[in-house]
C-alpha cells in the first residue's frame, strides 16, 4: 500500500514536471514524422531504416543530455507519389501536430513537402531527396537539405570521370524532377570541364526494361553513359548494360546516384569498378562501423545507407536546436537556430548549415571493389578521393536562392 502511494506521488510529480516543460513546446510533444518509401523501389535505402535512425538519434541525444520527456516518432509511406505525400504531410501538420518532417526521398515529393512546410511554418529536414533545387530556386527558410544533392553528385563523379578521359556523355534519365535535376547538374559539370553531351533519353519512372534505351546509348558512341536514375532503375540499367556487352564494347557506365544497397543487389561481379559519389560509408571509420553494427540486426542485416546516416545526424541537430530554444513552435526560428549552431556528430563530423539550408560536409568518391578485393559481405567500397567540404557543394551564390542574398 505504502509503495502504491509512493508510486502515485511519483507519477503526480512526473505529470507536474511534464506540465511545466510542455508549456514551451507545441502540444507538449516533439513529434518527428519520418516520411519515405516504405514499400517500393527506395524502401531499402530509406524506409524503416530511416525510422530506426530517427529513434536512434533520440535515444543517443537523451543519453547525453536531459531531454524533453515526450519525443515521438511517427512514419508514413508516400509511395513516391507527390499527391500521396502532400496529403500525409497536411494531415500530419494540421491534425496530428507533427513538428518536423524528415527524410522524404523522391524529389518530386520533397518539393511538394517543401512548399507545404513553409506555408505551415514547420521544419523539413531532407535526407533522402536529391534535387539541388531544394537549396536553389525552391529554397525555404523552413528546410534543411542534409545529406547530398544532385549538384554534389555531379560535381564529384562528373569531374573525376571527365578528368580521366571520359569526355563524351549520353544520359539515361529517370523522367521526373530528380532525374532532370541530376542530368542538368551533371551536364553542366561535364561541359564546364571540357567534355560534351552527345545525347540523352528519358525513361519512365519506375522502369523495368532498359535495353532499348541502352541500345540508343550504345549507338551514340559516347564514352560514358550517365545513369541519372536511382534504386531499382539503376540496378536494372547496370544489370542489362552488362548483358548487352556495353562495358565490354568500350563504353563506361557512370552511376550518378548509387547506394550501398544497390551494390548489394547487383553483386560485385557486375558492380565492380563503378565509380560514384556518396556522403557516407559504413566502413569508413570506427564511429560509422559502430552505428552500422547496431543498425544491421534491426534492418534485415542490411548496412545503413548515407540517407539513414543523414536522418540520424539531422534529427540529432534538430533536437539540439529545439532544446537550446526550449521550443519547437516556430519552424523558421528552429531552422534559423540550426543554421546558427555548428553541426557536430559522430557520423558526419563537424560542419555547418548555410543560409540557403545546405548542410556542408565532405563528400567521397568511391569505387566498387572487385570480388577478389572484398573481404566479406558488405565490404564493397574503396575511397578514390575525398572532396573537401568547401568544394563538395554548389557555391552559395550560384544556386539562385533568395535567402542567400
Taking CB under 8 A as the binding criterion, the range among 44-52, 97-105, 106-114, 140-148 that sits at the site for another protein is 44-52
Residue among 21, 74, 188, 244 that touches another protein (CB under 8 A): 244
Residue 41 in the binding site for another protein (CB under 8 A): yes
CA-CA-CA-CA torsion sign (214, 220, 226, 229): negative
| Window 164-223: residues binding another protein (CB under 8 A) | 175, 201-204, 206-209, 211-213, 215-216, 218-219
In angstroms, give the least distance from the CB of 240 to another protein.
6
Residue among 85, 226, 231, 255 that touches another protein (CB under 8 A): 231
C-beta of residue 75 within 8 angstroms of C-beta of residue 34: yes
- Number of other CB atoms surrounding residue 121 within 10 Å: 16
- Number of other CB atoms surrounding residue 13 within 10 Å: 10
Alpha carbon distance 315, 57 (integer Å)? 6
Q: How many residues bind another protein (CB under 8 A)?
A: 46
The 274-303 contact track toward another protein, x by CB under 8 A, reads --------------------------x-x-
Q: 39 vs 383, which CB is nearer to another protein?
A: 39
The 316-355 contact track toward another protein, x by CB under 8 A, reads ----------------------------------------
In sequence order, what DSSP letters do the residues of 48-115 get, joined into one string? Answer: HHHHHHHHHHHHHHHHHS---S-EEEEEEE-TT-HHHHHHHHHHHHHTS---EEEE--SHHHHHHHHH
Instruction: Compute the 3-state secondary structure of the chain and give helix, strand, coil in percent, each to the nearest 5.
Output: 45, 20, 35
Taking CB under 8 A as the binding criterion, the range among 110-118, 134-142, 256-264, 310-318 that sits at the site for another protein is 256-264
Residue 261 in the binding site for another protein (CB under 8 A): yes
In angstroms, give the least distance from the CB of 370 to another protein.
15
Alpha carbon distance 370, 363 (integer Å)? 22
Residue with cell 519506375: 206
CA distances from 191 to 81, 127, 183, 225 (A): 33, 28, 12, 15
- Number of other CB atoms surrounding residue 264 within 10 Å: 18
In angstroms, give the least distance from the CB of 68 to another protein.
33
Residue 153 in the binding site for another protein (CB under 8 A): no
Which H or E run contains 343?
Answer: strand 343-345
Residue among 159, 240, 272, 313 that touches another protein (CB under 8 A): 240
Residue 28 in the binding site for another protein (CB under 8 A): no
Which H or E run contains 364?
Answer: strand 363-368
Residue among 17, 165, 249, 395 that touches another protein (CB under 8 A): 249
In angstroms, give the least distance from the CB of 319 to another protein.
29
Q: What is the DSSP-derived secondary structure letter of residue 158?
A: I
Residue 245 in the binding site for another protein (CB under 8 A): yes
Residues forming the site for another protein (CB under 8 A): 37, 39-45, 47, 175, 201-204, 206-209, 211-213, 215-216, 218-219, 231-232, 235-236, 239-240, 242-245, 249, 261-262, 264-267, 269-270, 300, 302
Amino acid at each position: 500500500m505504502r509503495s502504491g502511494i509512493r508510486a502515485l506521488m511519483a507519477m503526480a510529480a512526473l505529470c507536474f514536471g511534464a506540465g511545466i516543460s510542455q508549456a514551451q513546446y507545441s502540444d507538449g510533444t516533439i513529434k518527428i514524422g519520418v516520411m519515405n518509401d516504405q514499400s517500393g523501389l527506395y524502401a531499402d535505402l530509406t524506409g524503416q531504416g530511416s525510422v530506426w535512425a530517427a529513434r536512434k538519434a533520440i535515444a543517443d541525444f537523451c543519453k547525453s543530455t536531459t531531454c524533453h520527456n515526450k519525443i515521438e516518432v511517427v512514419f508514413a509511406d508516400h509511395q513516391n507519389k507527390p499527391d500521396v505525400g502532400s496529403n500525409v504531410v497536411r494531415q500530419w501538420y494540421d491534425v496530428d501536430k507533427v513538428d518536423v518532417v524528415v527524410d522524404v526521398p523522391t524529389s518530386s515529393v520533397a518539393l511538394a513537402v517543401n512548399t507545404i512546410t513553409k506555408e505551415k511554418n514547420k521544419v523539413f529536414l531532407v535526407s533522402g531527396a536529391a534535387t539541388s533545387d531544394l537549396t536553389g530556386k525552391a529554397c525555404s527558410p523552413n528546410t534543411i537539405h542534409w545529406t547530398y544533392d544532385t549538384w554534389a553528385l555531379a560535381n564529384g563523379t562528373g569531374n573525376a570521370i571527365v578528368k580521366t578521359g571520359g569526355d563524351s556523355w549520353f544520359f539515361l534519365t529517370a523522367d521526373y524532377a530528380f532525374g532532370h535535376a541530376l542530368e542538368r547538374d551533371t551536364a553542366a559539370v561535364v561541359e564546364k570541364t571540357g567534355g560534351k553531351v552527345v545525347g540523352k533519353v528519358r525513361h519512365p519512372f519506375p522502369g523495368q526494361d532498359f535495353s532499348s534505351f541502352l541500345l540508343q546509348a550504345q549507338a551514340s558512341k559516347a564514352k560514358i553513359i550517365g545513369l541519372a536514375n536511382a534504386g531499382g532503375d539503376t540496378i536494372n540499367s547496370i544489370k542489362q548494360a552488362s548483358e548487352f556487352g556495353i562495358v565490354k564494347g568500350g563504353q563506361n557506365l557512370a552511376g550518378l546516384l548509387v547506394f550501398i544497397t544497390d551494390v548489394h543487389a547487383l553483386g560485385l561481379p557486375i558492380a565492380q569498378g563503378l565509380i560514384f559519389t556518396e556522403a557516407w560509408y559504413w566502413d569508413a571509420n570506427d564511429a560509422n562501423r559502430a552505428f552500422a553494427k547496431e543498425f544491421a540486426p534491426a534492418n534485415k542485416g542490411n548496412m545503413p545507407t548515407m540517407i539513414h546516416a543523414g536522418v540520424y545526424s539531422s534529427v540529432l541537430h534538430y533536437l539540439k536546436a529545439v532544446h537550446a530554444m526550449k521550443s519547437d513552435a516556430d519552424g523558421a526560428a528552429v531552422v534559423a537556430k540550426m543554421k546558427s549552431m555548428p553541426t557536430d556528430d559522430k557520423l558526419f563530423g563537424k560542419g555547418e548549415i548555410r543560409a540557403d539550408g545546405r548542410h556542408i560536409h565532405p563528400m567521397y568518391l568511391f569505387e566498387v571493389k572487385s570480388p577478389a578485393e572484398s573481404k566479406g559481405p558488405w565490404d564493397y567500397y574503396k575511397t578514390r578521393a575525398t572532396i573537401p567540404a568547401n568544394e563538395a557543394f554548389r557555391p552559395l551564390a550560384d544556386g539562385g536562392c533568395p535567402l542567400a542574398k
